[in-house]
Amino acid sequence: MVLAVFVAPYLLDATRRFVDATANLPDVELALITCEPEERLPGDLRRGIAGHWRIDDPLDAGQIAAAVHGLNGHLGEVQRLLAVLEQLQVPLAQVREHLGIPGMDAATARNFRDKAQMKSVLRAAGVPCARYRLADSAAAAAEFAVEAGYPLVVKPPAGEEHVPPRRRRGPAGLAGGGAAGAGPDGDGRGVPHR
């Protein structure tokens, strides 16, 4: 039996489906780390998991590590640590490395999170990728557009998942909320792709 811990800050519908699927895997005993108190977990889920640990900040690798350590004390050695939220992948990888849990390491997780870095790694390995540039301003995005042509897709850099990618067909699209609106504060950060 594998003891797996799923970090799910809040049990929204999509996350809950992943948690349920993991809890129903054969030969898996599942514990849950959440920001929710145990009494707020749905009854069927509470009955289906081996343990629960509440933390305040799900992006804090120290809090996750302390929760895993606490679960280790109650349930035995945690053998897998997982989550579905993209922004949790780096802190989880840091905890895995710190506690010796198999899985994706922090360097790989950072390559996954930072799309510009990911494309550099893939391109260096010979994998064809769309042209891109990490643009820190609308002017930098416009410069890339001159080099690459249109249409472009402007995506937020890592850590800004709440900002959707935007397709831009010409210069007016960049000036009117393209790269200039890519960051959460309209700071102009974005990754144009061609």
Convert the pLDDT of each residue in 137-158 to its tens digit.
878 888 888 888 888 887 776 6
Domain ranges of the chain: 2-112, 129-193
Write out the two tokens for 164: 């959707």
At 161 the pLDDT is 59
Topology of domain 129-193, CATH:
Dna Ligase; domain 1 (3.30.1490)
Strands 152-155 and 191-193: antiparallel
Tokens linked to 72: 């280790």
- Phi, psi (rounded to 5 degrees) for 14: -65, -45
Distance CA 53, CA 68 (A): 8
For residue 182, the one-letter residue type is A
* The CATH number of the domain covering residues in 2-112: 3.40.50.20
CA distance 105 to 116: 19
The owner of tokens 């350590």 is 69
Q: Which residues of the chain have pLDDT under 70?
A: 157-164, 173-194
Strand partners, 155: 191
Residue 12 has what DSSP assignment?
-
Q: Do domains 2-112 and 129-193 have the same CATH topology?
A: no
3-class SS of residue 153: strand
Which of these, 111, 112, 99, lies nearest to 5 by C-alpha position?
Answer: 99
